[in-house]
Chains A and B, each alone.
Chain A
């Protein structure tokens, strides 16, 4: 009986606890209303679908970043990993459709491998992840530059670009559903399932208190390394979608790591780990993209985006710091 009583009492308090998805949902709703007032056409299925498709890579990266952040680490290497993947893909495919699938596979392996190295260096060599992934960021930037002489070569095949650019036409009610959105839905479902599994609970426990987790038999290093691998895989999928969307570019992934971290923080995930949900992180990314769309509709320069991101990170960390100290 006491449990029932407590349950009946606490849903509101439970939902607005740090790390809950209610605040981000509220923010998303407010932004949707504002966008709807300013540009009602935006909420029509075709333009909404295309918006979601365009936002898919950032949402994927936010999910990947979530795994790392909730386990108490950072991954600053994802942006340069995306760039590296796009440049590598263009050079290897070299406009030959037959090479599409092998290269897609290779990119996934490459992403996982980079994540594995990040994870092992962080956990086994005890280099702080901030430094590890910053180093990886620089290594990848330099390696890509060296390998390509500073200018991308080759080209992506239409088959490769399809994932990020084309859509499934004539879907009832929705019209045109971008493939990127379908990929996102699948990955998001997998992420949610993963977080509900034992591994998910372990991951959060490791971020909350690695010592306790260790004492209760969790192999902390292994869990965190897996988180980095997941982030690398998410970056690989994002790279496939982004490369498809815009083609070969040397700046394909520039700044994405900060976008992803901002989104995760905005989604109520605590920097330092242990609190927050993957759904919140993905909603955070969606909210951030919607905010940028709103800024566009009001004619605010795109150059303000990084300023907004910075402000969100500072604000969110400040808010969560005051909350946790009063906990």
Chain B
């Protein structure tokens, strides 16, 4: 056990040095290395008990709004007045996008474009600027957009703290600002749209894995990288669940979202421990690689969580896995467009606009598994009723 802990400490420490991110608002996520009951290490610096409690409560809350349109639903909404932004249409909407550099953002952005198309003549022009994952570029992008006569500005911030002043400047310019996905640390936007969040995601996966595996079994936790708030919250909620369930977390490893690295890590653990009884992941992108590592080693695939990416859903169905897929739904890309138009109509909107965050389970798997869609598509896109489906997403 002592050796495991030392190894874990070394792993975490080195991964931290190796994968320094420019994610602010966090500083190092580290220190999470010293002894603790089940090998999960110390709690993440990002962990906020009140937020955790609130998110877990939201998982059971009943949303208001149309049941067949979760992207228009709100959880425990507090409505804000927007009458001062009322304006005659059609409108010019501008969108400063953090990046398009992963399949989740690709699917989301296509969904957003389709939503714009669906709004038809209500939107005269939709301007999109891609910051390519760079804070400095996004700050400049937002500044440029302020001079382009936008009626409303949608921002998906690259990082929280660094983009806050740029968003504040946009608010001061007088146009309504809608922020979604990652947040900013200012209350000035009219609304902040996002799903329940990371604690909910991490908790759902960890609870499933620890309940379905054999008691006291060995869990391998695979994380993408440290220090990013949305991912840290996922892990910290999972840690709470694993500590409570008293499972033996034999490793917490960082995969960088790379399938080859993931497969090697899982393979390494299988060689070192013989069997692994449960796998938890903070994001589904490499879930299939983890599953393949078990298959290729000729071992049964233990209870595992992935995400709503189709490649995982397909393996799950084909191989009869014991699996679950908490989601960070891509349908949230529709909501900012809807919110911006409502604000420009002077209608009330919820702030924050908390969207439901559905989970794919064995029972509803078939509803989300569309074999005609590409492997990297996200099932929870809420896009089947949008113009251009399915070609636009292929």
Q: Do A and B bind each other?
A: yes
Q: Which residues of A are interface residues toward B (Cβ below 8 A)?
A: 39, 41-42, 47, 50, 54, 94-95, 149-155, 165, 242, 245-252, 254, 293, 296-297, 299-304, 306
Does B272 have its Cβ within 8 Å of any Cβ on chain A?
yes
Question: Quick check: A301 and B14 within 8 Å, CB to CB?
Answer: yes
Does B61 have its Cβ within 8 Å of any Cβ on chain A?
no
Question: 25 A-B pairs, CB-CB below 8 angstroms?
Answer: A39-B271, A50-B296, A54-B264, A54-B267, A149-B101, A149-B106, A150-B132, A151-B100, A151-B105, A165-B292, A246-B258, A246-B259, A246-B262, A246-B289, A246-B292, A247-B259, A247-B289, A249-B260, A251-B261, A299-B7, A300-B7, A301-B14, A303-B14, A303-B17, A304-B14
A250 to B106, CA, bound (A): 15
A154 to B14, CA, bound (A): 34
Question: Quick check: A151 and B15 within 8 Å, CB to CB?
Answer: no
Chain B 3-18 per-residue mask, 1 if CB under 8 angstroms from chain A, else 0: 1101100110011011
Question: Quick check: B374 and A149 within 8 Å, CB to CB?
Answer: no
Nearest-neighbour CB distance to chain B for A295, whole angstroms, equals: 10
Smallest CB-CB separation from B265: which chain A residue? A302
Check A151/B101 contact, CB under 8 A, given A249-B258, A299-B3.
yes
**A165: B residues at CB distance < 8 A:** 292, 296
Chain B 351-394 per-residue mask, 1 if CB under 8 angstroms from chain A, else 0: 00000000000000000000000111000000000000000000
**B271: A residues at CB distance < 8 A:** 39, 41-42, 47, 293, 296-297
A95 to B15, CA, bound (A): 34
Does B49 have its Cβ within 8 Å of any Cβ on chain A?
no
Nearest-neighbour CB distance to chain B for A238, whole angstroms, equals: 12
Question: Quick check: A153 and B376 within 8 Å, CB to CB?
Answer: yes
Question: Quick check: A152 and B272 within 8 Å, CB to CB?
Answer: no
Check A50/B375 contact, CB under 8 A, given A150-B101, A251-B260, A297-B271.
no
Smallest CB-CB separation from B375: which chain A residue? A155
Does B103 have its Cβ within 8 Å of any Cβ on chain A?
yes
A303 to B254, CA, bound (A): 10
In the complex, the 3 A-B pairs of residues with the closest C-beta atoms, listed nearest first: A299-B7, A150-B101, A303-B14
**Beyond the given A152-B376, A247-B288, A302-B11, could you list 8 further A-B residue pairs with CB under 8 A, ordered by the A residue number?**
A54-B264, A151-B105, A245-B263, A247-B259, A249-B258, A251-B261, A254-B258, A299-B4
Please pick, from B6, B99, B258, B311, the residue contacting A299 in the complex, using a CB distance under 8 A: B6
A54 to B292, CA, bound (A): 14
Check A50/B272 contact, CB under 8 A, given A151-B376, A153-B376.
no
Does B51 have its Cβ within 8 Å of any Cβ on chain A?
no
Does B53 have its Cβ within 8 Å of any Cβ on chain A?
no
**A151: B residues at CB distance < 8 A:** 100-103, 105-106, 376
**B268: A residues at CB distance < 8 A:** 296, 302
Q: Which residues of B are interface residues toward A (Cβ below 8 A)?
A: 3-4, 6-7, 10-11, 14-15, 17-18, 99-103, 105-106, 132-133, 253, 256-265, 267-268, 271-272, 288-289, 292, 296-297, 311, 374-376
Q: Tell me whether chain A's interface is mostly helix, strand or loop, or mixed.
A: loop
A297 to B376, CA, bound (A): 34
Question: Quick check: B376 and A150 within 8 Å, CB to CB?
Answer: no
Question: Quick check: A242 and B7 within 8 Å, CB to CB?
Answer: no
Nearest-neighbour CB distance to chain B for A78, whole angstroms, equals: 15
Smallest CB-CB separation from B100: which chain A residue? A149
**A249: B residues at CB distance < 8 A:** 258-260
A302 to B296, CA, bound (A): 21
**A303: B residues at CB distance < 8 A:** 11, 14-15, 17-18
Interface centre among A153, A154, A246 (most CB of B within 10 A): A246
Question: Quick check: B103 and A152 within 8 Å, CB to CB?
Answer: yes
Smallest CB-CB separation from B269: which chain A residue? A296
Nearest-neighbour CB distance to chain B for A164, whole angstroms, equals: 10
Question: Quick check: A150 and B4 within 8 Å, CB to CB?
Answer: no
**B311: A residues at CB distance < 8 A:** 155
A150 to B376, CA, bound (A): 13
**A301: B residues at CB distance < 8 A:** 7, 10-11, 14-15
**A254: B residues at CB distance < 8 A:** 258
Question: Quick check: B256 and A251 within 8 Å, CB to CB?
Answer: yes
**B265: A residues at CB distance < 8 A:** 302
**B267: A residues at CB distance < 8 A:** 54
Question: Quick check: A50 and B261 within 8 Å, CB to CB?
Answer: no
Nearest-neighbour CB distance to chain B for A291, whole angstroms, equals: 14
Check A246/B103 contact, CB under 8 A, given A50-B297, A299-B3, A301-B11.
no
A246 to B289, CA, bound (A): 6
Nearest-neighbour CB distance to chain B for A174, whole angstroms, equals: 15
Nearest-neighbour CB distance to chain A for B314, whole angstroms, equals: 10
**B261: A residues at CB distance < 8 A:** 251, 302
Nearest-neighbour CB distance to chain B for A141, whole angstroms, equals: 13
A152 to B103, CA, bound (A): 7
**B259: A residues at CB distance < 8 A:** 246-249
**A300: B residues at CB distance < 8 A:** 7, 10
A39 to B271, CA, bound (A): 9
Question: Quick check: B272 and A297 within 8 Å, CB to CB?
Answer: yes
Please pick, from A149, A155, A248, A299, the residue contacting B272 in the complex, using a CB distance under 8 A: A299
**B132: A residues at CB distance < 8 A:** 150
**A250: B residues at CB distance < 8 A:** 258
Nearest-neighbour CB distance to chain A for B16, whole angstroms, equals: 9
Question: Quick check: A246 and B18 within 8 Å, CB to CB?
Answer: no
Check A150/B272 contact, CB under 8 A, given A155-B375, A301-B11, A303-B17.
no
Smallest CB-CB separation from A149: which chain B residue? B100
Question: Quick check: A246 and B263 within 8 Å, CB to CB?
Answer: yes
A151 to B377, CA, bound (A): 12
Nearest-neighbour CB distance to chain A for B369, whole angstroms, equals: 15
Question: Quick check: B375 and A150 within 8 Å, CB to CB?
Answer: no
**B100: A residues at CB distance < 8 A:** 149-151
Smallest CB-CB separation from B293: which chain A residue? A246
**B101: A residues at CB distance < 8 A:** 149-151
Nearest-neighbour CB distance to chain A for B4, whole angstroms, equals: 7
